[in-house]
Structure 1
């Protein structure tokens, strides 16, 4: 996707890269259905959405651990493929973009800004989700957790995403709700936005992540003044 105007003239970044779960997409309801299917298969009571939500951005292993804290870590590791199989069936059935995300993306596009996704979700699952959300012709690049040999907090996925859209990392901004998102952006030389509307554990302290700015809701990013200067 090529920009139709100079977004910097309007005060927007040239390009924005987003985390997916907990940043663009409220996928916790899909993850809850997945987790509860695994609990039911083992004769256990279901989790609540409130109990699972803080763990979603930490990935499958964290969610399995939250659901089965009494099970040995090594045994839980073997359940990851089962989790992904269940999740593949629930994908896109219950979740939706966070309120304000579509308005934010529309504002970026209207300013001529290119945007894409860098997620730790397996690429094949992220690639299935993008058209479900109607973003297949809008998202300029998609990097999944297994697209490259490393994943966030390593900066390489962000660097490669910038390369694929023809941008220098310093001309992009990364938006994410997890500390590893901000660590990766800083290591990539990319300004960052902490998405405070996402998923966080009670002990997380986003003000200590050293993001360039923190934003409470996606709608705020419709305003060019809310973005950090590259």
Structure 2
């Protein structure tokens, strides 16, 4: 490589979560949470409880909610449907630019999310969606491992050459189980301190730091 050449991407494939990672959906989630709790019979959240809840792991949150695991897909579908109707969720500032820069640097991109394809299409738009070689929607919170492996397989990449970038401890668990690195973002649903306990391979304090994935 000569001095004028660009550095190679640090990974062959970067797989992104959506909510709390690319899309700023947490305010919408909080606004809707108690309405869904009353409808589906799980525990409501008081405003003063939010900081402590953000410091919990995904499994701790599920235990605290009292929502049976078998009901989770029903609630998730209700949430994504309401998001589609609300049309108020936007990307974090700089997220679109970061995705463009990573793709331009030669890094392959994929998306694995619990959200629905209509929400992904609306929030990202066709230009950003076209940057992703694979988009996998509707994953259960604790069922992303198989989706991550499928993304790697579809794009012809070994798991050890991939990183999953997310904002939840369940994302970290899925990446580890899939044999991939985990990249933790500090601006999502979970506190940086809680994510640090998962020993991520990468930490991103600000959206622009995602550019480090390009090498």
TM-score by structure 1 length?
Answer: 0.69
Q: Which runs of 5+ in 1 are unaligned?
A: 1-6, 66-71
Q: Is the 8 A contact 2:111 2:132 kept in 1?
A: yes
Q: CA deviation at 1:17?
A: 0.1
Alignment partner for residue 137 of structure 1, among 117, 120, 130?
130
Does the Cα contact within 8 Å between 1:16 and 1:175 map onto a contact in 2? yes
Deviation readout 1:85-118 (Å, 9 max, x if unpaired): 3541333622211222112101111112111111
2:132 is paired with a residue whose SS is: coil
Question: Given the superposition, is the C-alpha separation of residues 222 and 55 from structure 1 closer, same or farther in structure 2, using an over 3 Å criterion?
Answer: same
Structure 2 alignment gaps of length 5 or more: none
Give the direction of change, closer, same or farther, for the CA distance of 1:56–1:80 in structure 2 (3 Å limit): farther
CA 1:129/1:58 → structure 2, altered by over 3 Å: closer, same or farther?
Answer: farther
Paired residues, number:
201
Shift of 1:13: 2.2
2:29 counterpart residue number: 31
The one-character-per-residue Cα deviations of 1:150-170 (angstroms, maximum 9, x if unpaired) are: 713xx3221111011121112
1:117–1:141 contact (8 Å) kept in structure 2 = yes
Q: 1:209 aligns with which of 186, 194, 198?
A: 198
Report if the CA contact (8 A) 2:165-2:182 is conserved.
Answer: yes
Which residue matches 1:200? 190
Q: What corresponds to 2:107 in structure 1?
A: 113
Larger relative contact order (CA 8 Å, sep ≥ 6): 2
Structure with the larger helix share: 2
CA deviations 1:3-58 (Å, max 9, x no partner) are xxxx984344221001111111111233234325447879xx99659838839994
Distance 1:184 1:81, change over 3 A: closer
